Structure 1
Amino acid sequence: MSSGLATASGPTIHKISKSITLYQNNLSAAPAPPAGTARPLVLLFPWLGARPQALLRYWQLYLKAGFDMLTVESNASQFLWPRWGLQYGAEILEVLQREGFDSRPLLVHAFSIGGYTFTQLLVHMSREPKRYLSLTDRIKGHIYDSLVFGSLEKMAIGLGRTILPQLEFLVRWAALFYFWLFKSYTVDYFDVGIATFRNSPVKAPALFFYCENDAMCDHEGLGTMLEEWKRQGREVWSRKWTESTHAGHLRRHPEEYLSTLDDFLQHLNIRAHM
């Protein structure tokens, strides 16, 4: 881990790797964890190309609540060549089992394609359940904001809108052709990931934020999966809007978003101080 850099706003920033950053809570106003317990850690998986300014409100929210935060960025190459995504997932799991991380209660908050990146962790956890049993049990809740869900075309739309919005149509069709051409290296991996997510080894309560006008999410299909989870006995929370913005629900609907999130965190009871 690189040396820490203290910021004016309080947290100390540690660059663990090029794409993984720890924000260590030094805010004087932040509640301290109870004696003898580890400070809870948020695993934040941003949307593709998310800028620091866009994530600032989430950082402030969680740091103020007493969490430390591990931001795990995604790269389009990990999506286009899923083997790299799986390798990246293994790297993240290795970090979470290091000293200083290995006893922390965990809260996952994944946006858009960040849900895909987190799914790569789930694939490893499903394949080696005994190895990752302790880590699985440490995940106390998982939150999905604007999950990319549905057909390959939904995935291709997401790539077009994030990589080259001006040429979204061309990127979409190029991506679909690419997926068809390299099916055994892409689509087959996606199918494994989708099946793993549907049967996630993480049984902790889940919260989904989504909307009906999101071109990157089949909201009806997602709703069906959430009902399946409920029938399996899983605890599922959700907040759906008729109209909103992909990965922009907090900006569009701040009161509802924050109220739902706060209720969920209160229910999980993992904040440093309630």
Structure 2
Amino acid sequence: MVSVIKATVITLMAVSRVLFNPLWSSASGHLTASIKNNFMAVSKRSFSRLEITKNLALISKEKINSKITNLKLHDQTGRPCVLLLSWLMAKRKHMQKFVDYYLNQDCDVLCINITPWQLLWPTKGTQIVAADILKFIDNNYLNSQCLLHGFSVGAYLWAEVMVQMAAQQDRYRPVMDKFVGQVWDSAADVTEISVGLPVAVFPKNFVMQKALAQYILYHMRTFDKVATRHYVRASQMFTTNLIKSPAQIFISKTDPIGTETSNLRVKETWENMGIKVYFKCWEKSPHVGHFLKHREEYLEHLDKFLEEIGFGVTSSERLKAKL
């Protein structure tokens, strides 16, 4: 009996660490508010990383002026910008392969992440991050194209951005018009977070997954005003979609989080709205693991999509670079 009680206490302590500590980060165990501008070398290439907020970091092939006022860069780079909305608990090294890909397209990359706490408490979490995203894009890349590339819960975060744009559509029409394309990899319906969040937080601990899943169900029943109703609204907004540019969707039939059913429903709705949708569904592939499992095919589809929408480096320029 004592051992059971002890195990239960440890489980609850671990869950509460995730749910009630806003300073707990998926990437490093803590968050820092400092602004820094560092050069890093990856694949023999140098790039500049500017930490804009706790959740936003801008990466560019060239040095970025670290002066930023009210989320506005003092110097515009003039390059296209990719909004890379990461999956929950994604580490920097996980996203680096996608950063490298877009840097090779001569684009800047805005890396965006949220913590489990921010997901569960949207009015003080994801909606604050969404406001920062909207303000940053509104203030910068004034004459440049933008592209969305989101993974899993990144779809929900972007939906929260669209909720804010929808409240002032005339005001944010220029922001919507900046986006020439959107890529969604394993997009997850946030109303199913009781399935995805436990696996993301405790990927190898089934007992903890079960405990967290039970809490999330309780959380969604109890905190409708500050959580659940916002999830429902965001889910509706993602499906109706204010961004009418072409979309590339990557999913698999075996993904229990970004399900084939929900993504097919989104595809059908978007096509009925006049959005051109490129759809790739693998028979077997893990959640947010399509790139690792099917690298060549993934890149083939992504290259073709970017060429179709005229974003980044053209295919002829890529061929020259390879030669």
Task: Give the structure with higher Rg (CA).
Answer: 2
| 1:172 Cα offset (Å) | 0.7
Write the mapping of 1:163-202 to structure 2, written as runs, cut at 5 A.
163-165=201-203, 166=205, 167-202=208-243
| 1:253 Cα offset (Å) | 0.5
Write the mapping of 1:26-175 to structure 2, written as runs, cut at 5 A.
26=62, 38-84=78-124, 85-98=126-139, 100-149=140-189, 152=191, 154-165=192-203, 166=205, 167-175=208-216
Deviations 1:45-101 (A, max 9, x none): 111111122112111111111111010111112221121212221111111122x43
| 1:175 Cα offset (Å) | 0.5
SS in 1 for 2:53: coil
| 1:218 Cα offset (Å) | 3.1
| 1:105 Cα offset (Å) | 1.0
Residue identity in the other structure for 1:19 = N
SS in 2 for 1:131: helix
Give yes or no for contact 1:40–1:272 (8 Å, CA) kept in 2.
no
Give yes or no for contact 2:244–2:274 (8 Å, CA) kept in 1.
no
SS in 1 for 2:169: coil
Residue identity in the other structure for 2:122 = P
Identity of aligned residues (%): 26
Cα distance in 2 between the residues matched to 1:268 and 1:202: 14
Give yes or no for contact 1:39–1:272 (8 Å, CA) kept in 2.
no
Residue identity in the other structure for 2:193 = M
1:5 match: 38
Give yes or no for contact 2:55–2:129 (8 Å, CA) kept in 1.
no
Deviations 1:94-143 (A, max 9, x none): 11122x43332110101111111111111111111011110100011111
Deviations 1:158-190 (A, max 9, x none): 110112231111111110111011123222111
Give yes or no for contact 2:240–2:269 (8 Å, CA) kept in 1.
no
Cα distance in 1 between the residues matched to 2:270 and 2:141: 29
SS in 2 for 1:10: strand
Unpaired segments ≥5 residues, structure 1: 28-36
Cα distance in 2 between the residues matched to 1:206 and 1:86: 24
| 1:248 Cα offset (Å) | 0.8
> Could you tell me which of 210, 234, 240 is aligned with 2:281?
240
2:74 match: none
Of structures 1 and 2, the one scoring higher in RCO (CA 8 A, sep 6+) is 1
| 1:255 Cα offset (Å) | 1.4
Unpaired segments ≥5 residues, structure 2: 1-33, 64-76, 316-323
Write the mapping of 1:226-237 to structure 2, written as runs, cut at 5 A.
226-237=267-278
2:6 match: none
TM-score under structure 1 length normalisation: 0.90
| 1:3 Cα offset (Å) | 5.3
Cα distance in 2 between the residues matched to 1:118 and 1:66: 24
2:73 match: none
1:33 match: none
SS in 2 for 1:140: strand
2:19 match: none
| TM-align CA RMSD | 1.8
Q: How many residues align?
A: 262
SS in 1 for 2:148: strand
Deviations 1:173-215 (A, max 9, x none): 1101110111232221111111111111100001111111111
Cα distance in 2 between the residues matched to 1:247 and 1:136: 26
Deviations 1:6-54 (A, max 9, x none): 2232111111112211111239xxxxxxxxx931000001111111221
| 1:228 Cα offset (Å) | 2.3
Give yes or no for contact 1:66–1:273 (8 Å, CA) kept in 2.
no
Write the mapping of 1:197-236 to structure 2, written as runs, cut at 5 A.
197-236=238-277
Residue identity in the other structure for 2:61 = N
